[in-house]
Structure 1
Amino acid sequence: MARTPSQWKVLLVDDEPAVHEMSRLILRDLRFEGAAVELLSAASAAQACELLSRHADIALVLLDVVMETDEAGMRFVEFVRHQIGNRDMQIILRTGQPGMAPEREVIVDYEINGYLLKTEITAQRLQSAVIAALRGYRHARSLRTGEPFERGCAPAQPRDLELAEDLAEAVAAGRIVLQAQPQLRLDSLQLHGVDLIASWNTRRGLLSAEQIAARLGTGTVRLQTMRWLLVQGVAWARQWQRECGRGLRISLPLVGEFLDDPQYLHELLRAVGETASPGLQLDLLLGQSVVLRAESSLVDAMMQLRQARIGFVFRDFGAATIALPYLNSLAFESLKLPRLFVQGVAAEPQRAAMARSLIALAQTLGATTLAEGVASDADAQFLRWEGCEVGQGPALARVCAASELIAALQRGADTSH
C-alpha cells in the first residue's frame, strides 16, 4: 500500500514576485491528509522545466500563461504531457490575461485540471483548488500503480527523527535563539511591545520558527518547547520591567499554534499559572492554520487563557477568508498586517486600498492594527494617517535603536536562560 508523502510538492510558475509572496503566505500552513505543502517557485517556464528534472514527485503545478513568451505556459503543458509523458501531475492555469488563453479553448485542447483568473482568486479559493488537485493527484497515482494511498503521514525518516531529537536537546540546552523585534506606536514612536523571533541552532545550521513548528509533532517535544518559550517570554517581560520601570507587551512565537489540542491547552494553562505575575503582558501569536481549523474549540481556549491575562495576535490578518462573525467572536487584541500588504503601500494603489480596508475592519472589531515589515518612512506615514496604531520593521527599528534599549533587551535575553 502506497503511503501519503511526508510533503506534497507544489510548483508555482509565475513571473510576478508578488504572486509568489502571496501564494506562499496563503499556503504556508496548508495540510492535506496530515502532510504539509512544500511550495517550489519558478519565474519562467524554462526554470520550471529545470525544477521538474530535479523533482519528479511534484504533485501540482500552478501555472501562469504569459511569461517569457505569450505562450510559455501552454508550451510547458505540452512539454509535461507529451514530451515527458507525466499525466499524474495536476496542472492549474492561473492567468491575468484570459484573452491569451480562453478557458473554453484550453480546457478542450490541453490536459489541464483547473483554470483560475488571478482577479478572482481568494485565499479560500486557492486553498480549495490546491486540496482538490492534490486529491486528484493521489487518485491518479493510485489508478496507475494499483496501490491505494494510505491516509496519514509517512513514517518518520531517520533524518526527521534525528532533527526531533536535536530539537528536544536544543530546548533543554537553550539552543533556541530568541531575537527581539521592537513594535513602535506610529503616532509617538514610543515602544509598544516586542516580538520574540525564534530560530533553532541545529547541527545543520539555523532553522526558522516555521521550520521549528513543522517538527513539533510529538507531544513531549511540543510541550517542552511551549514551556521553554513561555519561561523566556516571562523573563524578558520582567527584565524590561526592572530596567525601564514599566510594562511591555511580549509576543511569543509558536506557543499558540496548538490550542485545539486539549492536553496542550491544559499544560499551557498550568504553565501560565506557574509563571504569571502582576502586570505581566504576554500575547500569543496565532496563525491562520489555527484560526481556520479550530473554530468553537479555539474560542473556548482563548476565553480560558484571557482569564489568565493572556492576549492574542492574529498574525495573518487579511491573508485568509474568515467569516466576519467568527473573527469577531475571537476578539483578538491585535491584528497583524503581513508585510505583503505593507511594503510599498504608500506608492502602490492596490496595496494601499487593501491596507486601508483591513485597518478599517480592525477598527470596527475593536482591535489594534499592527503593520509588519514597515520598510520606509513613507509607508510608516501612510499607515499612521490611515489609523494603523503600531508598526515594526527596518524603518522603525532605526528609530528605537538607542543603546539603553538594546542593552536592556539583551540583558533580558541573557538572564532568561
Structure 2
Amino acid sequence: MKRLGQLCQPIKTAMAPYHAAAPLAAQFRARQIQAVLRLTPLTMLANALNATIVGWTFRDQLNPLLLVAWALFILYSAGTGIHAWWRGRQGRTPTTASPRALARATKHAALLAILWSVVPILLMPLGDADTRIMLTAVVTGMICAGGFALATVPQAALTYVAILGTATFIGLLRMDHALAIGLSLLLLIYTIIVMGSVLSNARTFGARVMAEAETERQRQLVGLLLNDFEENASDWLWETDADGRLTHVSQRMANVFGSSMQALTGQPLLALIAQTLDRVPDEERMAYEQLCRRFEAGTAFRDIQVPVVLDGTTRWWSLTAKPLADADGKPAGWRGVGTDVTQSLRAQQEVERMARFDGLTGLANRNHFHQLIDRIHDAPGTDAVPAMLLCLDLDNFKAINDSLGHAFGDSLLRVVAQRLQGRTRRSDVVARLGGDEFAIIRWGEVLPEDAEELAARIVKSFEDPCEVEGAHVRVGTSIGIAIAPKDGRSGAQLLKNADIALYAAKFDGKGRFRFFDYEMDTRARRRLFLEHELRGALQRGEFELAYQPIFALDTGRVSGCEALLRWHHPRLGMVDTQECIAVAEESGQIEAIGEWVLDAAIREAAHWPDTVRLSVNLSLAQFINPALCETILGLLDTHGLSPRRLELELTESIFLRDTTHAEGHLRALRAAGIRIALDDFGTGYSSLAYLRTLPLDRIKIDRAFVTAIAAHPETAAVVRAIIAIAQALHMDTCAEGVEDTAQLALLRAEGCGAVQGFALAEPMTPTTLAAFLAGKVAVPTAIAAGRNSAAHPPGGH
C-alpha cells in the first residue's frame, strides 16, 4: 500500500483542480474531501449490495471462507467511509486538510478498486454466460459510480477507475466468448470517457471553489474597508427605509449629530436636519428644500449641500445617495454617504472673496470692478443702466513710494482706501484698479450736483495729511467723472470717458475733478492719455509692424519694403502712427520702441528674397545714441540679414542738431554696408548742402508733392528738379503716397526710380507680405485703378 501511495503522489500533484496559495489550498483540499463524504453513504451501500450479490451468486462455486473474507474486506472499506461521513455529520469535519489526507483518500480508493478487481479477473471466467453478463454489469456500474463519486479528488478517482477498468479489461479478454474482444474494447472506451468526465468535473469543482473563495475574499475586503471607512474617514454612511427612517447609523454619523447610534436609529433623517434650521437665512433653507425635492424625486443624487445647525454653529453637509428597491422593484429606502464640507466651503468662499477683492486694501479689485461695470449694457432698444463712475488717481504717490519705500506706500494705500470708504455710501462700490488708481461706482440716477458734491468731498478729504506709521504725508487726488447713460451706454465706454476726464483734471493742475465733456480739448486730453497708455505698451505686446512694398519703376518689381509701426490699443483700437510717434518722442519712449522696431523688422526681413530691401525709419533719439551702429550691426548678425539689404530713413530735422556728429554716424553706417535715405525731402529745412556733404543713397519725395503733381504744374516742376538733383549726385529717388495711375505715369515720365503707395500696394501684415512676395496672392491695392503692369510680385527673383 505504501508503494501504491507513492505511485499515486505524482497523479495527485498533477491533477490539482486549482492553483492557490498554501492557506487556501488547505481549505480547498478539505472541500474536496467533504464533497466525497457527502456521497459516501450511497457509494458504500452500493458496495455492500453488489458484494452481497456477487457472494450469493458464487456461493456454490467457491470456498465460502474466501467469499466471506472478500466480502468482509469490502464491508470494512465501506465501514471506514461511513465512519468518516458520520464524523462529518457530528460537526467534526476539519476545515483544512493536508496533502496526506488526499493521499489517504487515494489509497482507500486504490484498495477498494483492488478488492473489486477480484470479480472480473478471478470470478468472471468461472461463471456461465448469464453470470458473466451480471458480473460485467456490476463491475461497469462500480467503475462509473466510483469515478463520479470520487470526481472532486481527481487523483483518487483516476486511480480507482484505472485499476478497476484495467482488471475488467483483462477479465473480459480471459472469457471464452466470441464477443470478448469487442466487449473489452467497449469497456476501454467507457473507462476513458469516465476518466475524462472525472477531469472535467474536477476542473469545474476547482473553478467553483476558487470563485467562492474570491467572493469571500472580496466580501471580507469590502467589510474591512467599510469598517475602516466608518471608523477613520471624515465621511459617514447612512441608510433609511422606505419611510425615510434611519436603519443604519455609523458611529461617525452619531458623533457628528452628537448623539448615540441607538438614539438615531429609527429617526426620520430629513426631520432630524429640519429641526436644526429654525433660524437660518432663507438661502440656507432653500438648500434644505432642494434636498427634500431630491428625496421626493426618488432618483440618485450627488453632492447636495445642506446646512445643519449643531451647538449653535452652522455646518454644511454634502450628501450623496441612491434609492434602494426590494425584490419586487418597489422603493425600499436610501443608502448614501455624508461629508462635512464646512471647512472646504469656507475656504472656497475665501478664495472667491480673494478673487474679487484687493488683498492689500480690501476694496473690490480690477476683475470684480469690470464684472460690475459690465452691467451697463449697450443693447439697442433697451435703456442703459444709470450709474456714475469716478476714476481717481493719487497725486505725488510715486515720489512718496520711491522715497519712503514700497512698504510705506502699501500702508498709505490702505489709509487712502479707508478714507474713500469713509466718504462714500455703503451701497457704493469702491475699487482699486491697480497701483494708485481707484474707482467709485454709484448705481441709479445721479444728478451732476450730487456727483460734484461727492468728488469735491473726496478731493477736500485729501487736503489733510495722511498718518502712516507715525509720519504725516500729503497726497492729493485727481478725479474724472462720467455719468451713464449720458457719457456712455456701456461699461467700457463709461470707463474710457471717465479716464479721459481724469487725465484732463491732471492736465489742468491736479488736485481737482473734471466731468467728462465732449467739447473739452480733445487733442490735449488724448495726448496725455496716450502718453500714459504708451508706457508698458511694448511689454504688453500692443505694437505690430506692417510692411508697404516699394516698386522699382524700371522693372515693375518689388525692390524693398518699408516697415511701418502700428499701435493696437485695447480700448482705442488702431492709433494713428504719427500721433503715436509724436507722443513717444515727447515722453522719451521712442528709443525703446525704435529698437523693438529694428529687431522685429530685421528678423522678418531675413526671410524675404535676397533682392528685397528693408527700409526702417530712425528717430532723432535713436540717431544720437552713440551705440546706434553697434546695436544695428548686432541685430543684423543675430538674424542673419546682410547690411546691404537694410536702408535707414532719416528726416532732415536730425541734421539740424549737429551736422558733424550726424555725418560721423552716417559714415559708420555706410562703411558697414547699410544704405541711408533722406525722408520727406522738401518739406522741412531742406538744404542742398546736406545732399552734397552727407553720405546719402536715396532721396524720398514727400507725399505732399506726389499728391499735387498731376494738378499743379509747379509741383511737377519741383519733383522734376528733385529727381534731377538726385541723379546728378548719383542717388536714387523714391516717391511716397502714390494713389492713382495718373501720378504713377507722371513719376515714370520724370524718371523717378521707385514708388510706393496705395495705388500699388497697401501696407501688409508679415503673413500677407510673405504670400505676396512668394507670388501666392494678388496685390491688395486700395484703388482698383492702381492694379497695373507696374505692380508685380517679385516672382522669379
2-side partners of 1:345 and 1:195: how far apart? 23
**Alpha-carbon shift at residue 190 of structure 1 (Å):** 0.8
Query: What corresponds to 2:564 in structure 1?
Result: 197
- Distance of aligned partners of 1:232 and 1:280 in 2 relative to their CA distance in 1, 3 Å threshold: farther
Structure 1 residue aligned with 2:601, among 217, 220, 233? 233
**Alpha-carbon shift at residue 370 of structure 1 (Å):** 0.3
Query: What corresponds to 1:172 in structure 2?
Result: 539
Contact 2:547-2:769 at 8 Å conserved across structures: no
- SS of residue paired to 1:171: coil
**Alpha-carbon shift at residue 272 of structure 1 (Å):** 4.7
- The structure having more radius of gyration, on CA atoms, is 2
What amino acid sits opposite 1:329 in the alignment?
A: T
**Identical counterparts, % of pairs:** 31
Structure 2 residue aligned with 1:395, among 756, 759, 762? 759
**Alpha-carbon shift at residue 220 of structure 1 (Å):** 7.8
1-side partners of 2:679 and 2:577: how far apart? 13
What amino acid sits opposite 2:691 in the alignment?
A: L
1-side partners of 2:754 and 2:525: how far apart? 44
- Distance of aligned partners of 1:396 and 1:375 in 2 relative to their CA distance in 1, 3 Å threshold: same
Is 2:581 the counterpart of 1:213?
Answer: yes
Query: What corresponds to 2:626 in structure 1?
Result: 262
Report the TM-score when normalising by structure 1: 0.52
- Distance of aligned partners of 1:309 and 1:209 in 2 relative to their CA distance in 1, 3 Å threshold: farther
Structure 1 residue aligned with 2:745, among 376, 381, 384? 381
2-side partners of 1:339 and 1:176: how far apart? 25
2-side partners of 1:191 and 1:256: how far apart? 29
2-side partners of 1:343 and 1:192: how far apart? 22
What amino acid sits opposite 2:598 in the alignment?
A: L
- Distance of aligned partners of 1:275 and 1:291 in 2 relative to their CA distance in 1, 3 Å threshold: farther
Contact 2:723-2:750 at 8 Å conserved across structures: yes
Contact 2:613-2:645 at 8 Å conserved across structures: yes
Structure 2 residue aligned with 1:359, among 723, 732, 737? 723
- Distance of aligned partners of 1:201 and 1:300 in 2 relative to their CA distance in 1, 3 Å threshold: same
Query: What corresponds to 1:334 in structure 2?
Result: 698
Contact 1:257-1:287 at 8 Å conserved across structures: no
Runs of at least 5 residues in structure 2 that lack an aligned partner in the other structure: 1-523, 777-797
- Distance of aligned partners of 1:311 and 1:226 in 2 relative to their CA distance in 1, 3 Å threshold: same
Contact 1:186-1:380 at 8 Å conserved across structures: no
What amino acid sits opposite 2:720 in the alignment?
A: R
Contact 1:230-1:255 at 8 Å conserved across structures: no
Contact 2:720-2:750 at 8 Å conserved across structures: yes
CA deviation profile, 1:300-340 (whole Å, cap 9, x unmatched): 11112223332222111122343323322222211111111
- SS of residue paired to 1:277: coil
Report the TM-score when normalising by structure 2: 0.29
* Number of residues of Structure 1 aligned to a counterpart in Structure 2: 249
- SS of residue paired to 1:319: coil
Structure 1 residue aligned with 2:653, among 271, 289, 295? 289
2-side partners of 1:374 and 1:284: how far apart? 21
Query: What corresponds to 1:152 in structure 2?
Result: none
2-side partners of 1:288 and 1:208: how far apart? 22
Runs of at least 5 residues in structure 1 that lack an aligned partner in the other structure: 1-156, 412-417
- Distance of aligned partners of 1:303 and 1:279 in 2 relative to their CA distance in 1, 3 Å threshold: closer
Query: What corresponds to 1:303 in structure 2?
Result: 667
Query: What corresponds to 1:185 in structure 2?
Result: 552
2-side partners of 1:340 and 1:217: how far apart? 23
CA deviation profile, 1:191-212 (whole Å, cap 9, x unmatched): 1111112121234332233223
What amino acid sits opposite 2:726 in the alignment?
A: A
2-side partners of 1:409 and 1:220: how far apart? 36
- Distance of aligned partners of 1:169 and 1:308 in 2 relative to their CA distance in 1, 3 Å threshold: farther
Contact 2:594-2:622 at 8 Å conserved across structures: no
Q: Of Structure 1 and Structure 2, which has the larger fraction of its residues in helix? A: 2
- Distance of aligned partners of 1:291 and 1:205 in 2 relative to their CA distance in 1, 3 Å threshold: farther
Contact 1:283-1:312 at 8 Å conserved across structures: yes
2-side partners of 1:312 and 1:354: how far apart? 22
CA deviation profile, 1:221-271 (whole Å, cap 9, x unmatched): 434312211121112212213xxxx33111113456631243556645554
Contact 2:561-2:612 at 8 Å conserved across structures: yes
Where relative contact order (Cα < 8 A, 6+ residues apart) is larger, the structure is 1
- Distance of aligned partners of 1:386 and 1:307 in 2 relative to their CA distance in 1, 3 Å threshold: same
Spell out the pairing of 1:2-401 with structure 2 (5 A cutoff). Answer: 163-164=530-531, 166-202=533-569, 203-217=571-585, 221-241=589-609, 246-254=610-618, 258-262=622-626, 267-268=631-632, 270-275=634-639, 277-278=641-642, 281-397=645-761
1-side partners of 2:644 and 2:593: how far apart? 20
- Distance of aligned partners of 1:204 and 1:265 in 2 relative to their CA distance in 1, 3 Å threshold: farther
Query: What corresponds to 2:294 in structure 1?
Result: none
What amino acid sits opposite 2:548 in the alignment?
A: Q
**Alpha-carbon shift at residue 361 of structure 1 (Å):** 0.9
2-side partners of 1:232 and 1:317: how far apart? 27
Contact 2:531-2:587 at 8 Å conserved across structures: no
- Distance of aligned partners of 1:336 and 1:257 in 2 relative to their CA distance in 1, 3 Å threshold: farther
What amino acid sits opposite 1:336 in the alignment?
A: K
- SS of residue paired to 1:239: coil
CA deviation profile, 1:335-359 (whole Å, cap 9, x unmatched): 1111111124134211111111111
1-side partners of 2:689 and 2:768: how far apart? 44
**Alpha-carbon shift at residue 390 of structure 1 (Å):** 0.3
